[in-house]
Structure 1
Amino acid sequence: MRTTARIAALTAAGLLALTSLTACANDAASTTADTGGGAGGKGSGEHVKIMVGGLDKVIYLPAMLTQRLGYFKAEGLDVELLSEPAGVQAETALVSGQVQGAVGFYDHTLDLQVKGKSVESVVQFSQAPGEVEIVSTKAAGGIRSPKDFKGRKLGVTGLGSSTDFLTKYLAIKNGVQVSEFTPVAVGAGPTFISALQKGAIDGGMTTDPTVATILDKKAGRILLDMRTPEGSRKALGGPYPSSSLYMQTDWVNSHKDTVQKLANAFVRTLQWMSTHSASEIAGKMPADYSQGNKALYTEAIKSTLPMFTKDGVMPDGGPQTVEKVLKAFNPSIKNARVDLDRTYTTEFVEKATG
């Protein structure tokens, strides 16, 4: 971690912690429009491409909200937001050089490091996964905890995704081996819900607004709720930094001015979110995200808001929790030394908040 003298001093002192209701959730999408809070568009400022692991998932809401509030444009940036249905695909786009940044789970930075890729989180959006383990109404009687995962088909957004990582950890933590259940890549939103209703999966891990839709349809019930820091600690043993803006370290080092502008914009959004209601936030988002049910979409945002940080700073103990989770089932990480200090930086958010 690269940080200022202030944080270094504190460290030395020991003070060291659906996808959508929209049908476009599973299609690649892009936007450069600054509407709802500021004008702008492609060609107005320095162009930066960011891939999001599901642009209209509530857990990644700061990406689109920053665009809608006009904060990218205020920093002199023309940010093109692209979307893939799963975080693992956003990761692939980043390391292949298709985009300059990715909005996805912080855990990818650890996984990539042991594969020889240097990637770091530069703005930490969250302090909890924002994920919910759902079980279908039909299977609910036989799945009362992760101990009952054995022999089950469990939905994840994609194999190798963060939902896949977390599902495997919950199983192992509760005495079920990875080989004893079947992960099924079903995406999120309509595809997840359809798989649940048709019995293609017995349960699975997903986020809002998919969760809100499932509960509204009475298609399933919540087994584990990790949308709050408290839920994260209960399920995973500590804060679990998840959604973030992460970038290749070489690019960060060679484009510090641009990264600082991105950090300024995102931190400003996180601060705005902390002082506005779910209804006000929903009102800033694209109309089709609510798919005609504004109340349900607002409720989905309200349920997920506790996961977000107010300043973009990595929570104390968060990287250690993520490493513990990954080491429990990932052989390449379990048998490797991970340098956590190289998986994130607070250099830019400190300047943005200071």
Structure 2
Amino acid sequence: MEELKLEHDYCCPGCDTRPQGADLGRRTVIGGIAALAASSLGIAQAKKVKIGTCGQFLCLVPYEVAKRRGYFRELGLDVEIIWAKGGTQALQFMIGGAVDYSATSLDAVLQARQRGAKVVQVASSGRLPLFALATAPKTAGAIQAVKDLAGRTVAVSGLGNADHLMLQYLLKRAGVDPKGVQYATIGTNLFEALKQGQVEAGMVQEPALSLLKEAGGRELVNLMDFNQAKAFMGGPYAFMGLNIRSEEREERAGEIRRIAKAVEKGIQFVQTARANVIVDSLPKELIVGGDRKQLEAIIDRYRRSLYQSSLKLDRDAAERTVDIQQAAGVLPAGFKVDEALDFGILG
């Protein structure tokens, strides 16, 4: 059906809502703990590294925790985290040389390679998509399952984006012809459009999902929940990971291992520390104006399902990602996962 476009201001591709007052444009975040470590050890002793990442709350958590708790610094790295407007822009930063690495979804890497970009993913920090399918409050009674979306208007960030592809997969799985659904492309601030009833359902992230449910919306499928992801997709789905320019693989191999080790330590902290302590370890810009207790609850709910303790690439999970993109017609049938992932650096 015809694509419907709605105009909304939004923070950045990759996140559909954010704490009010937080500016998630491109920025450098200087953490307190890491900054103290830098002043005592001397910045000259550490290798400067720039990582561009999407500004979505749950994407940022492992990397920001690793930075602000000094885990990168412990391994001789002075890491600067650049918040981009979504994974595509983070990849563009890296391809153009503005950053050394990008932390994005594998979906973004696969599509970049289809456009000719010489990039590969070398580590995986997230094993599930950061999306849920939910209804608007006013349609929660009428839409109780994915099959009820036939003939409805459903919001996505953009046609061909990861959330759109995932929605098409869920529709087909429920026996709904994706062509029989109208897609409203809103950017990433889907929350307001759903809350106001401008669309009937949408692919959202956190904290938008929690806010929608509070307003009376219905959660249809939450792919951030491991049990639901297993039920709907068959298991883990390779999502967030660390990417490099293909030609720099050899010269950066040792550095990649150090980055992975620091992020793994950050994930271990996220999976074991109290939620309030984790929030204390995040940049104030990510928290300001938001509901702190709600953010703590979000971290507590997803920290064990979203993040994997080892950053080694999972071939089965990556092939599941490729399969879903092939089913959506984005990747050719003969595409091999080894074209986009380097399994040799972390083993």
SS in 2 for 1:154: strand
Structure 2 equivalent of residue 6 of structure 1: none
TM-superposed deviation, 1:21 = 2.0
- The aligned amino acid for 2:228 is G
SS in 2 for 1:255: helix
Contact residue 224 and residue 302 of structure 2 kept, 8 A: yes
SS in 1 for 2:123: strand
Partners in 2 of 1:197 and 1:168 — Cα distance? 23
Partners in 1 of 2:97 and 2:164 — Cα distance? 24
Partners in 2 of 1:132 and 1:227 — Cα distance? 7
Structure 2 equivalent of residue 210 of structure 1: 208
TM-superposed deviation, 1:175 = 3.0
1:264-343 matched pairs, under 5 angstroms:
264-290=261-287, 291-305=289-303, 306-315=305-314, 317-331=316-330, 333=331, 335-343=332-340
TM-superposed deviation, 1:310 = 0.8
Contact residue 271 and residue 311 of structure 1 kept, 8 A: no
Distance 1:52 1:242, change over 3 A: same
Which residue among 183, 199, 218 is the counterpart of 1:201?
A: 199
Structure 1 equivalent of residue 3 of structure 2: none
Partners in 2 of 1:49 and 1:109 — Cα distance? 18
> Which stretch shows the higher mean deviation, 92-101 or 120-129?
92-101
TM-superposed deviation, 1:146 = 2.3
TM-score of the two chains, using structure 1 as the length reference:
0.82
SS in 1 for 2:250: helix
Distance 1:288 1:125, change over 3 A: same
Which residue among 17, 29, 34 is the counterpart of 2:31?
A: 34
TM-superposed deviation, 1:326 = 0.7
Structure 2 equivalent of residue 72 of structure 1: 72
RMSD across aligned C-alpha pairs, in angstroms? 2.6
Structure 1 equivalent of residue 235 of structure 2: 238
Structure 2 equivalent of residue 8 of structure 1: none
- The aligned amino acid for 1:300 is I
Structure 1 equivalent of residue 51 of structure 2: 50
- The aligned amino acid for 2:227 is E
Structure 1 equivalent of residue 8 of structure 2: none
Partners in 1 of 2:64 and 2:185 — Cα distance? 25
- The aligned amino acid for 2:339 is R
TM-superposed deviation, 1:62 = 1.1
TM-superposed deviation, 1:76 = 2.4
Structure 1 equivalent of residue 247 of structure 2: 250
Contact residue 227 and residue 303 of structure 1 kept, 8 A: no
TM-superposed deviation, 1:138 = 0.8
SS in 2 for 1:184: strand
Partners in 2 of 1:194 and 1:135 — Cα distance? 12
Partners in 2 of 1:345 and 1:268 — Cα distance? 22
Distance 1:321 1:292, change over 3 A: closer
SS in 1 for 2:103: strand
TM-superposed deviation, 1:154 = 2.2
- Which runs of no fewer than 5 residues in structure 2 stay unpaired? 1-15
SS in 2 for 1:141: coil
- The aligned amino acid for 1:256 is A
Q: Alignment identity in percent?
A: 21
Contact residue 196 and residue 219 of structure 1 kept, 8 A: no
Partners in 2 of 1:219 and 1:86 — Cα distance? 28
Q: Output one character per residue of 1:57-113: Cα deviation in whole Å (capped at 9) or x when no partner.
A: 114311222221112222222322222343233233333433222222112233333
TM-superposed deviation, 1:347 = 4.1
Partners in 1 of 2:172 and 2:133 — Cα distance? 15
Residue 21 in 1 paired to residue 22 in 2?
no
SS in 1 for 2:31: coil
- The aligned amino acid for 1:51 is G
Partners in 2 of 1:288 and 1:28 — Cα distance? 11
- Which runs of no fewer than 5 residues in structure 1 stay unpaired? 1-17
TM-score of the two chains, using structure 2 as the length reference:
0.84
Distance 1:36 1:117, change over 3 A: same
Distance 1:296 1:36, change over 3 A: farther
TM-superposed deviation, 1:125 = 1.1
TM-superposed deviation, 1:164 = 2.0
TM-superposed deviation, 1:343 = 2.5
TM-superposed deviation, 1:296 = 0.7
